[in-house]
């Protein structure tokens, strides 16, 4: 037993350890010389929260290597359909960087059209955060059949206090009303990724 332990200890460091040190040194020097600033695993001499090699202070998108893009108009639904466009978050575009806990306002144009079978049903057009809660119903009524309802919503919100990436999404709800039975969150659950009309990088 004593002999076996000694043999193991002697082999490990001289074999794997020595080879790895030589290989790492050679690869690192070569690739960083050739690729200059495009190397993502280069550690900058500064805070870099999303570890993309760009210092926080000068990172235009501190929530990952690539800033996401969103279409100018997002449409959902079929027989009953809705859309959101002209999104402006905190006076900027639809993909923005905001401070944690900041009070911000966003504006968006919306449409809702009921070509479905329930002529007497009330509908809600819910907007809110994912992950997070519904913020508002920008529409809450029984729409006339086959007529597009539209408006411009202005929603006041507080940015999440935990840094990270958050989505603004919307969905069509079919409850009795926006706050039926005291409900203040998403109808059943949050909307899917296809219903994303805004992105917040909270830092
Ligand atoms: Ca960064």
pLDDT at 118: 87
Task: Tell me the percentage of the chain whose pLDDT exceeds 90.
Answer: 74
Q: Please state the rounded mean pLDDT for residues 88-95.
A: 97
Distance 49 CA to ligand 1 centre (A): 6
Least confident of 41-50, 85-94, 102-111, 193-202: 41-50
Query: Which residue ranges make up each domain of the chain?
Result: 2-58, 73-202
Q: Please state the rounded mean pLDDT for residues 173-191.
A: 97
Distance 21 CA to ligand 1 centre (A): 28
Distance 16 CA to ligand 1 centre (A): 33
Alpha-helical runs (H) found in the chain? 2-12, 18-35
Q: Which residues sit opposite 98 in a β-bridge?
A: 202
pLDDT exceeds 90 at position 159: yes
Distance 64 CA to ligand 1 centre (A): 7
Better-predicted residue by pLDDT, 203 or 33:
203
pLDDT at 20: 41
Distance 58 CA to ligand 1 centre (A): 8
Query: What's the Cα-to-Cα distance from 143 to each of 100, 127, 131, rounded to whole Å?
Result: 37, 18, 29
pLDDT tens sequence across 16-35: 444 443 334 334 444 444 44
pLDDT at 39: 58
pLDDT at 2: 44
pLDDT exceeds 90 at position 151: yes
CB neighbourhood size of 125 (10 A)? 26
pLDDT at 22: 38
Fold of 73-202: Immunoglobulin-like (2.60.40)
Distance 53 CA to ligand 1 centre (A): 6
pLDDT at 45: 83
Distance 97 CA to ligand 1 centre (A): 13
Distance 81 CA to ligand 1 centre (A): 39
Q: Please state the rounded mean pLDDT for residues 145-153.
A: 97
CA dihedral 194, 195, 197, 198 (to 10 degrees): -80
Distance 43 CA to ligand 1 centre (A): 10
Q: What is the pTM of this model?
A: 0.77
Q: Please state the rounded mean pLDDT for residues 25-54.
A: 64
């Amino acid at each position: 037993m004593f002999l076996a332990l000694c043999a193991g200890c002697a082999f490990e460091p001289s074999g794997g350890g020595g080879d790895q040190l030589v290989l790492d040194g050679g690869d690192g020097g070569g690739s960083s010389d050739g690729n200059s600033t495009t190397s993502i695993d280069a550690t900058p001499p500064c805070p870099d929260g999303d570890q993309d090699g760009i210092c926080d202070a000068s990172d235009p998108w501190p929530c990952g290597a690539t800033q996401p893009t969103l279409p100018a108009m997002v449409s959902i639904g079929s027989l009953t359909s809705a859309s959101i466009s002209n999104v402006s978050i905190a006076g900027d575009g639809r993909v923005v960087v905001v401070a944690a806990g900041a009070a911000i306002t966003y504006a968006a144009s919306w449409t809702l059209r009921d070509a479905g079978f329930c002529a007497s049903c009330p509908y809600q057009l819910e907007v809110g955060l994912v992950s997070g809660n519904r913020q508002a119903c920008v529409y809450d009524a029984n729409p006339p059949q086959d007529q597009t309802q539209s408006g411009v919503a202005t929603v006041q919100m507080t940015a999440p206090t935990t840094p990270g990436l958050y989505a603004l999404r919307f969905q069509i709800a079919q409850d009795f009303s926006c706050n039926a039975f005291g409900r203040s969150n998403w109808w059943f659950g949050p909307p899917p990724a296809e219903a994303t009309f805004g992105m917040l990088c909270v830092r």
